């Protein structure tokens, strides 16, 4: 039998946690898709939830990556704007805001999540 070097064992363990985390995030996305009715899935809130799950997947992947040489940081203000837009879209009905405000805030949240994800992926690619 051949002995594996210690760094390859650490790499396998790190990969195992990445696969487990990816599976959990896929399960969360599957639950959202399965238990959302067809008319509700065309709602902007569903887009915000799916965008947030995708962004969480990217952030979790970065946190689990131990051998990353590059320190990846997204602008904090961009993440705060995304969260504020998402909260506004979710509570737009309770706050008696119009449907245009809800759509605009949901679109703003999804765009902010996307730009933040692009910044992270670009930094990873350069690093």
What does pTM read for this prediction? 0.62
The total of structural domains in the chain comes to: 1
What does the block give as tokens for 77?
A: 């203000």
Residue 1 lies in a domain: no
- Choose among 59, 60, 44: nearest CA to 104: 44
pLDDT at position 67 is 57
Residue 78 lies in a domain: yes
Residue 94 lies in a domain: yes
The parent domain of residue 69 ranges over: 6-126
Residue 87 lies in a domain: yes
- Choose among 73, 74, 109: nearest CA to 91: 109
Residue 18 lies in a domain: yes
Q: What is the mean pLDDT of each run of 10 residues along the chain (127 residues)?
A: 57 66 76 74 72 73 62 80 86 82 86 85 75
- Choose among 83, 32, 33, 27: nearest CA to 55: 83
Residue 79 lies in a domain: yes
pLDDT at position 88 is 87
Residue 101 lies in a domain: yes
């Amino acid at each position: 039998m051949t002995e594996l070097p210690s760094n390859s064992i650490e790499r396998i363990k790190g990969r195992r946690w990445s696969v487990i985390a990816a599976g959990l995030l896929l399960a969360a996305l599957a639950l959202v898709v399965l238990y959302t009715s067809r008319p509700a899935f065309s709602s902007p809130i569903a887009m915000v939830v799916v965008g947030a799950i995708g962004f969480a997947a990217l952030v979790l992947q970065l946190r689990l990556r131990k051998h990353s040489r590059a320190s990846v940081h997204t602008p904090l203000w961009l993440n705060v704007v995304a969260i504020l837009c998402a909260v506004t879209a979710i509570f737009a009905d309770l706050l008696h805001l119009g449907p245009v405000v809800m759509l605009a805030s949901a679109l703003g949240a999804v765009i902010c999540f996307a730009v933040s994800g692009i910044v992270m992926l670009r930094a990873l690619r350069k690093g």
